[in-house]
Structure 1
């Protein structure tokens, strides 16, 4: 009875909404929930036959929650569970809204959302650069093969005549009939021998190879019709190659925008091609100009073909490949017009390539391709054409660099780009490299320390063999000797080449940062000053919170410790000198007030 009640509502909602496919989610919800109740009710000691929408003998609210939980276990990574539960609640809510008898608690439950959210789809990753190159090369080779095959077929077509006058056992005549729409299964079964082995050799040669070892079946008239069509017209497998190359060359075009292009949307200009593209999801129509790229000066086997490989050239080649189909068949002016055997007409027919038919999807095209060595293409799963667009976005990001707003371009909001494109592997690798470069720069700056000139080297500092290893030239040595480069705590090789500023002006952080500067030069005569600085830092350790002291003085204290370790035997004399001469540390007022407060 419960299944019947839900099925009645299923019929009503299908008729009310005019759902052409019968509403598979509604039907699936009725069947699966009824089957679930057959197993769920006995666990409570109840009879499933007592389940009713208007009765509370069996608590259907608890049953819907239990069913949803079971569906989530059956479909952990799919939205199907959520769709089925929503469909069931919609059927119950419709019955309650129409005045049918429904338990009050079940009516309230039908108006509430599902208990669980649908799982989020895992974003698609882009193809690797090697995969992109393999797909590009395979697509180019496919285009060349298609153009060669069509050229041969159209040459034979020019030599053909009406088979009703010249006979049906001539290949050019059969092509003439295919062009005229006269080739059907019924006609060929009447005009050709019943077995393909009795057909003329020139006709048998165009049939597909039969390599599965089955000796009881051989290509028949249907295979012949398809082969005749492929000699004159491009089919979906041929058009895959054009679509791949166009998507790789048009970073601002989605697969659906490209697929929906029609002949009136294409306008060739002197400098390229102008496309009118419509994005249904964004309810936006825009015109994009793709400039014509210059052809390579030297034509080699890799670039050989009937035209260039830019967007302008590919569109011209695609239109040339499908031109005969537009003349032979009456159809809408789709850019991707594919001709193949149609079961309804039992002959050739033309329609917009869907790229979704059995054995004609993107994954089937990849499986049929070989690289230059004759090996199958090693392309990562899933074989989704949307990954091509992400690949072109990544290539654009690598070439342009810049901020996320720059990479998003004019066809995305920044958040859309961040959520759908910036997550890719290549983007993460580039971000990781940028972070590593920044960290490397910071670590290099952090590990730079002053040069300590020991007591034995000081008298000989003006000698080149002593000064050069210390990174000093004669002018710097003279300035240091004269006291011109004394920064208060240490000497400085060049105050105008500070690592803390890049404008070429005099260093503005001396002496506060001298112990962390690569330009600092320390003489043993300056050890008393460094000891007084160390004492000041230790007083600040007691006055400041530990995090603040570590941020302000921690690195300086570590640098001083390294210097003191190198000249530990000189420290007692330097300490006594501070006491005897009553020295005091002169720090800038800004350093005291800014760092010590």
Structure 2
């Protein structure tokens, strides 16, 4: 007798009769069924694999120790199962070395089942109970580097490919409905007609055995339409034909991947698990959107989210949901393309993500099931790698092809738009530390943070190194204490500057004896005027602007004499400071340039400065 459980749409069985220690397997399988039902696990196959793996090992271990396996039970005292568990864990460590998590997951699952039996019945030996309460023999492998988000180009490529695939799916299903309307029973209309085979698939009477019985043995003798549906495969032609006929009427699992991509990019507050676990009852359409009831099993929390869609420019407020790429529109289109599956296969009626795939090996037929997106050919990476129309390869998207990166992309996009503190970005979807650890590390976030820090530093540095400009009004009232204080001058310094005693040949200097570019030894600045444009002591009057125009021309001439790295190192910062100063003094610049070009101003650079900087 097989023990089975169905959780989250997955049917899983354990057959005790396949093992010599069947009594032990019955005990463990009973606990497995109770555990799955009590905790509502999404996928019971992990615990079932632990039971099968341990049972297979126990058969070998008991036989090697000449112990009758049929007498061993969890509640028995004749055999110390603790030793068997330890030996099994050692084998798991060798079979699944780090960084694989498989061994740790199997050991944790089995210990949980034994511990559950010990608490529920209290008949498990004390030594085995203590072992079940302890952690596995080896720890969980450390997590790898955190996933990064997709780049902007990758996000757009994924979005465009998903939209194109959804359009193609809707066209394909529409053509399939038309073929179904024109088809009839192949017994009456013939087995060589494509539309009749579509009718047979929809009626549930077609399988690979029927195809082999009514079609020529060699696919080369099939009608051209059937060969086109089956593709180039010869050995598996009946299976491929059956799958192709089913795909004309129902979506396949890989056909639903574009909906996952677009919805996860649009809903940053929804995890892939929450989206996958949606039932049809969790989706409620309103006048202008859709309300989703999202259940997060890890947090034991259920949330309801309303996603609205703006009304058309002159359309009604009631949202029809056709042709829209927002969340309500995508949900309506998803429900529409999966509705034939729920209608034809009532066992899938409660689930949102349902598809049809061939079921069986020797005699396969199409069957509706809940989409799992985990089997080969149906995963996210399979959809990305699938060749597109007119191309021999899939999308150019960086690895790993992990669907969780879609949500991270949406999260980082939201962070870029909103900005603000980490607490604001985390919102009600995460704790601050969770957001900081799992989302704030993204490349885009780091780049933006770096730009923000760099911008702030540049502003600070600019305020410390830029010259101060005093316009005509300020120069006229320079001896006024308030004006002098605004320019950072004392009354005596302002008077000396007004009289021209602090002119350094290029600009004024508020303190020639306290240069930031020279040692603080009380001596007069020896780098003026070479570094005046990078000095916080510099004060520019309107009368100095013609000289600065000539300096800017001189710096531009140096581009032809110096290599680019050398010019940037010697003159680059000064050229940037001059450009910024000229922008701020735009109203004075026409007259200043006229004086400079007319020969009424001159640039007197020391010989040492020309020798040092211009060669």
Is the structural similarity TM-score above 0.5? yes
Q: Tell me what 1:565 maps to.
A: 524
Aligned to 2:14: none
Cα gap change, 1:246 to 1:109, in 2 (>3 Å): closer
Instruction: State the Cα deviation string for residues 567-588 of structure 1 (Å, max 9, x = none).
Output: 799xxxxxxxxxxxxxxxxxxx
Partner of 1:543: none
Tell me by how many angstroms 1:338 deviates: 0.3
Return the match for 1:522 from 510, 522, 528.
Answer: 510
| Cα displacement string for residues 203-226 of structure 1 (whole angstroms, at most 9, x for unaligned residues) | 22322234xxxxxx3443222211
Question: What is aligned with 1:223?
Answer: 240
Q: State the partner residue of 1:281.
A: 298
Match of 1:500 in 2: none
Q: Quick one: which of 141, 163, 169 aligns to 2:164? A: 141
2:603 matched residue in structure 1 = none
Larger Rg belongs to: 1
* Aligned position for 2:594: none
Cα shift readout 1:160-193 (whole Å, capped 9, x = no counterpart): 2232322222222221222222222233333333
Pairwise CA distance, 1:385: 1.0
Partner of 1:77: 99
1:176 to 186, 195, 199: 199
Rounded to whole Å, the distance in 2 between the matches of 1:152 and 1:284 is 42
Unaligned 5+ runs, structure 1: 1-5, 37-52, 211-216, 298-304, 452-469, 494-518, 531-555, 570-597
Compared CA separation, residues 115 and 321, structure 1 to 2 (3 A): closer
Alpha carbons 1:329, 1:349 under 8 Å: kept? yes
Paired residue for 2:371, among 341, 353, 373? 353
Match of 1:444 in 2: 462
TM-superposition CA deviations, 1:114-160 (whole Å, max 9, x none): 67642331232222222111111111111122122222222222222
Structure 1 position 75, deviation (Å): 2.4
**After the TM superposition, which of the residue ranges 339-348 and 253-262 deviates more from structure 2?**
339-348
- SS of the aligned residue for 2:524 comes to helix
Of 293, 297, 310, which aligns to 2:326? 310
1:414 to 432, 437, 446: 432
Q: Which residue, 118, 142, 150 being the options, matches 2:173?
A: 150
Q: Specify which of 218, 223, 231 is matched with residue 200 of structure 1.
A: 223
How far apart are 1:230 and its partner, in Å? 0.9
Q: Structure 1 residues 522, 73: closer, same or farther in 2, change over 3 A? A: farther
Query: Secondary structure, in 3 states, of the residue corresponding to 2:477?
Result: helix
Give 1:563 deviation, angstroms: 8.6
Q: Normalising to structure 2: TM-score of the pair?
A: 0.62
Provide structure 2 residue ranges, at least 5 long, that are not aligned to the other structure.
1-20, 35-43, 62-76, 315-320, 492-506, 529-615
For residues 380-459 of structure 1, the aligned pairs below 5 Å read: 380-448=398-466
CA contact (8 A) 1:492 1:521 kept: no
**How many positions carry a matched residue from both structures?**
458
Q: Is the 8 A contact 2:358 2:364 kept in 1?
A: yes
- Counterparts of 2:113 and 2:357 in 1: how far apart (Å)? 42
Query: Which residue of the partner structure matches residue 467 of structure 1?
Result: none
Question: After the TM superposition, which of the residue ranges 341-350 and 249-258 deviates more from structure 2?
Answer: 341-350
Query: Could you say which structure has the greater relative contact order, defined with CA pairs below 8 angstroms and 6 or more residues apart?
Result: 1
Q: 1:160 to 1:110 in 2, by over 3 A?
A: closer
| Backbone CA RMSD of aligned residues | 4.7
Output the CA distance in 1 between the equivalents of 2:284 and 2:129: 57
CA distance in 2, matches of 1:168, 1:179: 15
Q: Residue 325 of structure 1 corresponds to which residue in structure 2?
A: 341
- Give me the whole-angstrom Cα distance separating, in 2, the residues matched to 1:476 and 1:145: 71
Aligned-partner Cα distance in 2 for 1:200–1:69: 55
TM-score (norm 1): 0.64
Residues 252 and 356 of structure 2 are in contact (CA less than 8 Å); yes or no, is this contact kept in structure 1?
yes
Residue 491 (structure 1) shift: 2.2
Whether contact under 8 Å (2:31, 2:113) holds in the other structure is: no
1:389 deviates by 0.9
Task: Select which of 141, 147, 161 maps to 1:119.
Answer: 141
The CA distance in 1 between the partners of 2:455 and 2:250, in whole Å, is: 54
Alignment of 1:255-294 (within 5 A): 255-293=272-310
Q: How much has 1:14 moved relative to structure 2?
A: 5.3
166-175 or 72-81, which moves further after superposition? 72-81
- In structure 2, relative to structure 1, the CA distance for the partners of 1:564 and 1:238 (3 Å cut) is same
1:160–1:173 Cα contact (<8 Å) kept: yes
